[in-house]
Structure 1
């Protein structure tokens, strides 16, 4: 897993990175928010550890971008311990707050706990292209927008999102979603697929449902 550390204190950067690398994490270091944003545009990260007091853009502003635009968990690392600062940090959507000086073991415990929690969350999510669906809550997000669809259409889309390798047999899909009680199974499925295609198009989704003649469907990411 990859972790981004952002701190203008070189000693802290070295201390934290050494211990994280010893714990088998991949680490990138940035001395300011601008350098951190450059890293985020180049590669994915699983967690960001951000100092509050930095020249230029401060840690609170950076944390807001990281949590909202990149949806990465954040630990704030700071010398400030006032309740107001913690409140401001959590209001930005951060996951944890550690006050300097700190024990490196405590930092590792918190890093591990957050990553375990997010792994469980990610396991409940199906993501293909810019489409994301939560299998527990049925929340559908396309790009930055959340959508409310009819339940059966969500079930069909989720079935396809979970089977992006290979083709999907239409009768397997019908059996999974409707069972054997459907009177006009192919007509019903075709109707739902067409509606989903139209909704995906209107939402500017980067995926499309391709028909495999005589067999079923395949979900593809558009280039």
Structure 2
């Protein structure tokens, strides 16, 4: 299964990537909106792990919208280190959102969620 991680903190993205690869996933990493857009145009993804605070603005929502347009079957797991959208409203704003978890979620738990939402 193919997974895209969109996370500005490269070290955190690499930790997640390592866990996902050990579980058999093919993982691409983007550290900004432009990289994410290029990845979404180049190959299909089953799941996208997307930092809600990407670009310190509404960049994550733009990436989610682009994913919905380019790859409507891809599911988005939002991760965040803030309480923004903690009321669950992210699910009203992004129809491809399937989960909303803290950035400090254990990497093996995140990998299990990816497998679940990818249908494997």
TM range (shorter): 0.7 to 0.9
Tell me what 2:4 maps to: 4
Q: Distance in 2 between matches of 1:88 and 1:15?
A: 28
Distance change in 2, residues 1:85/1:69 (3 Å): farther
Which structure has more RCO (C-alpha within 8 Å, separation ≥ 6)?
A: 2
Match of 1:111 among 96, 110, 114: 114
Q: CA deviation at 1:110?
A: 1.0
Q: What is the alpha-carbon distance in structure 2 between the residues aligned to residue 85 and residue 32 of structure 1?
A: 23
For 2:83, the equivalent position in structure 1 comes to 81
1:152-184 Cα offsets, whole Å, 9 max, x none, are xxxxxxxxxxxxxxxxxxxxxxxxxxxxxxxxx
**TM-score after normalising by structure 1:** 0.48
Task: Report 1:179-190 matches (<5 A).
Answer: none
1:104 CA displacement? 1.3
Deviating above 6 A after TM superposition, structure 1's stretches of 4 or more consecutive aligned residues are none
Counterpart CA distance in 1 for 2:90 and 2:71 is: 17
SS at match of 1:5: strand
Does the residue aligned with 2:28 lie in a helix, a strand or coil? strand
Alignment of 1:64 onto 2:65: yes
Query: Shift of the alpha carbon at 1:105?
Result: 2.0
Distance of 1:115 and 1:85 partners within structure 2? 24
1:212 alignment partner in structure 2: none
Are 2:30 and 1:30 aligned? yes
What CA RMSD, in Å, does the superposition of the two structures yield over aligned residues? Answer: 1.8
Within a 5 Å distance, the mapping from 1:117-196 to structure 2 comes to: none
Task: Tell me if structure 2 keeps the 8 A contact 1:86–1:97.
Answer: no
How many residue pairs are counted as aligned between the two chains? 116
Q: Which runs of 5+ in 2 are unaligned?
A: none
CA distances 1:98-132 after superposition (whole Å, capped 9, x unpaired): 1121111211221111111xx7xxxxxxxxxxxxx
